[in-house]
Amino acid sequence: MKLRKATAVAATALVLSVTATACGGDDSKSSASGSGSGGGDKIKIGIKYDQPGLGLKEPDGSFSGFDVDVATYVAKELGYDADQIEWVETKSADRENALSRGDVKIIAATYSITDERKAKVDFAGPYLLAHQDLLVKSDSDISKGTDLNGKKLCSVTGSTSAQNVHDTIAPKAQLREYSGYSECIAGLQSGAVDAVTTDDSILAGFAAQDKYKGQFKLAGLKLSNENYGIGVKKGDTKTVNKINTALEKMVSDGSWEKAVEKNFGPADYKNEPAPKIGNIVK
């Protein structure tokens, strides 16, 4: 009787062990989906949903833009096909938290590399050097910052771009804050504002839209240097190194230049050459 009871207990333990192992296997697979190690079911990538030319969710549910193309290339080099990418909208104010929480594996969302951000996350790249600039109408006589004195300058609520222009080069500019860049661009088209300011890459993306082609131009002022990097959770050096290798390959095989032309070409965007990995322009 004692032997039978012991055998029954052992059998039960064996079943429980197998069950736990099976559950553990599922968790491991789920974890790999965001691990960036390749071979997992999915990789979650944070992007913007509302920036034409960079990160835009199209009406049909697809995604387009330079950030999307760069992230897709990088994901492939990490072992993920395009249909294994789960795009996650990542607002500017939530980027660091999204990485630390593990909501996404990487972020490619006009994410400028700064010392303050580097204290919270790690960056691969940079993969694009942008500059703060002005977007004006094609027939505008605004060609330098001081031309904005007495003119209406638009940026989005919470942005420091317009204030920077006001404080440094055009103290008599009339600042206008709208809830989004789409509203600023519409205001520029209607004449409600005379110029819009933010990163030139963002402005070029809007200007390249079919409905705006030929209507606007970039002033080319280069008011700041914005080094776009791919954000990674702090301490994940392995993933940073893999992404850097992927970015170098993207440049060397011509895919980077093709992505620039595809997304910004219609706006006649005078982009900087592809930056070297780790070279942060101050």
Identify whether 106 is part of a domain.
Answer: yes
Co-location of 136 and 126 in the same domain: no
Identify whether 281 is part of a domain.
Answer: no
Co-location of 125 and 66 in the same domain: yes
Distances, alpha carbon 241 to alpha carbons 37, 124, 217, in Å: 12, 7, 37
Identify whether 118 is part of a domain.
Answer: yes
Q: How long a stretch of residues is the chain?
A: 282
Give per-residue burial for 181-213: e unless 16+ CB within 10 Å, then b. Answer: bebbbbbbeeeebbbbbbbbbbbbbbbbbeebe
Q: Indicate the average pLDDT of the chain.
A: 87
SS3 call for 219: coil
Domain end call among 160, 191, 218: 218
Identify whether 245 is part of a domain.
Answer: yes
> Which range of residues forms the domain containing residue 162?
132-218
Co-location of 210 and 234 in the same domain: no
Co-location of 153 and 210 in the same domain: yes
Q: How confident is the model at residue 123 (pLDDT cuts 50, 70, 90)?
A: very high
Do 145 and 122 contact (CB within 8 A), yes or no?
no
Identify whether 35 is part of a domain.
Answer: no
How many C-beta atoms surround the C-beta of residue 87 within 10 A?
A: 19
Supply the pLDDT for residue 1.
43
Do 176 and 193 contact (CB within 8 A), yes or no?
yes
| Prediction pTM value | 0.82
Co-location of 100 and 148 in the same domain: no
Co-location of 189 and 253 in the same domain: no
Judge whether residue 148 has pLDDT over 70: yes
Calpha distance 246→74 (Å, rounded): 6
Q: pLDDT tens across 46-56, in order?
A: 999 999 999 99
Supply the pLDDT for residue 32.
35
Do 263 and 69 contact (CB within 8 A), yes or no?
yes
Co-location of 126 and 230 in the same domain: yes
Share of the chain above pLDDT 90, in %: 76
Identify whether 274 is part of a domain.
Answer: no
Co-location of 125 and 136 in the same domain: no
Residue 183: CATH number of its domain: 3.40.190.10
Co-location of 126 and 136 in the same domain: no
Co-location of 120 and 237 in the same domain: yes
Supply the pLDDT for residue 40.
57
Judge whether residue 157 has pLDDT over 80: yes
Supply the pLDDT for residue 12.
43
Summarize the confidence of residues 149-166 as an average pLDDT.
Answer: 91
Q: pLDDT tens across 171-217, in order?
A: 999 999 998 899 999 999 999 999 999 999 999 999 999 999 899 99
Summarize the confidence of residues 235-264 as an average pLDDT.
Answer: 97
Domain end call among 218, 253, 275: 218
Co-location of 197 and 246 in the same domain: no
Share of the chain above pLDDT 70, in %: 86
Supply the pLDDT for residue 265.
82
Instruction: Give the contacts of 264 (CB within 8 A, at least 6 positions apart).
Output: 53, 66, 201, 204, 205, 208, 271
Q: pLDDT tens across 5-40, in order?
A: 444 444 444 444 434 344 443 333 333 344 444 455
CA dihedral 22, 24, 25, 26 (to 10 degrees): 90
Q: At how many degrees (to 10) do helices 181-190 and 200-207 cross?
A: 60
Supply the pLDDT for residue 267.
82
Domain end call among 218, 239, 254: 218
Co-location of 82 and 194 in the same domain: no
Supply the pLDDT for residue 219.
93
Identify whether 22 is part of a domain.
Answer: no
Which of 182, 145, 184 has the alpha carbon at shortest distance from 165? Answer: 145
Q: Where are the alpha helices (DSSP H) in the chain?
A: 2-32, 66-77, 95-101, 115-118, 161-168, 181-190, 200-207, 237-252, 255-264
Number of domains in the chain: 2
- Top-ranked range on mean pLDDT: pick from 23-32, 74-83, 160-169: 74-83
Task: Look at 63 and 158; give whichever has higher pLDDT.
Answer: 63
